[in-house]
Amino acid sequence: MVETSKKMVDEETINDKIAEGESIEEELRALFPRREGVVSLSDFMEHEGVKLLLTRSNEVLGFLGYTEHGFRHASIVAYRAWYILKKLLYDDRMCELAAISGYLHDIGNVINRHFHEMHSVFLADTTMRDLGMPINERIEVMIAIGNHDEITGEPVTPIGAAVIIADKSDVHRSRVRTPQNIYEDIHDRVNYAAIDSELEVSEKRDEITLKIEIDTEISKVMEYFEIFTERMKLCRRAAHRLGINFRININDIEIL
């Protein structure tokens, strides 16, 4: 159980909702309520500009043939980024900044998929300024968002490392928009084959494991690595930045 000052959120319940392909925004609001004198994740979740940016960026990517990048993905990346740092005993505010970074990391897709991480930085900073977030916190969020992409990014900070792992771990069939086309598109096929994915930090806090359940009747395990090898390499570097090892377990078999 994860305890907050007002409510308790059950990790098992959250993981069950993720496995069902659901958004976990309700749980995030319980974890990060609005608080006087602090810009919280809920402030961003209730911000009309952020809502519109997430909605339209998801629509743009849908037109381009990409998987879901809307409220569901944003909420899961936010939660998992927070979870990673929380389990590794980082302070509460740094953990929340990781959640904020995770929630905002893809809003730049509304401008263009190419260099979306850079567009996301400037759009996020506009919103952070609007909400009155101090410059030192804005910088940490911008660094994390600007370095989350596997082509241009590196895990230069703990917050950034957590966002990378959280983002790249979200593979799930609910993200596929056109299941009827899965045998024509390897990315859709691999995502659709992923029945569940979960992150787990070891009790010793020395490893983080990405556990994936794949329906091999739909996609072979090798196809996962065919399209996601660079992402997994980045996750390994991100884990090392956090001082831990990165593991992958697919269908209860340790792969990496």
Tens digits of residue pLDDT in 37-87: 999 999 999 999 999 999 999 999 999 999 999 999 999 999 999 999 999
Residues of 93-119 as b/e, b for ≥16 C-beta within 10 angstroms?
Answer: ebbbbbbbbbbbbbbbbbbeeeebbbb
User: Which domain, by its residues, includes 206?
Assistant: 2-254
Structural domain count of the chain: 1
Amino acid sitting at position 168: K
Tens digits of residue pLDDT in 161-179: 999 999 999 999 999 999 9
What's the token pair of residue 88?
């590794």
* Cα 77 versus chain centre, distance: 2
Distance CA 226, CA 128 (A): 37
Yes or no: say if 53 and 45 are a contact pair by the CB < 8 Å rule.
Answer: no
CATH number at residue 138: 1.10.3210
Yes or no: say if 115 and 152 are a contact pair by the CB < 8 Å rule.
Answer: yes
**Local confidence band at 255 (pLDDT 50, 70, 90 cut-offs):** confident
Report the pLDDT value the prediction gives residue 1, as an integer from 0 to 100: 35
Tens digits of residue pLDDT in 174-224: 999 999 999 999 999 999 999 999 999 999 999 999 999 999 999 999 999
Residue 228 main-chain phi, psi, to 5 deg? -115, 15
Tens digits of residue pLDDT in 127-160: 999 999 999 999 999 999 999 999 999 999 999 9
Tens digits of residue pLDDT in 101-126: 999 999 999 999 999 999 999 999 99
Q: Which of 235, 234, 232, 228 is nearest to 193 (CA)?
A: 228
What's the token pair of residue 163?
């966002």
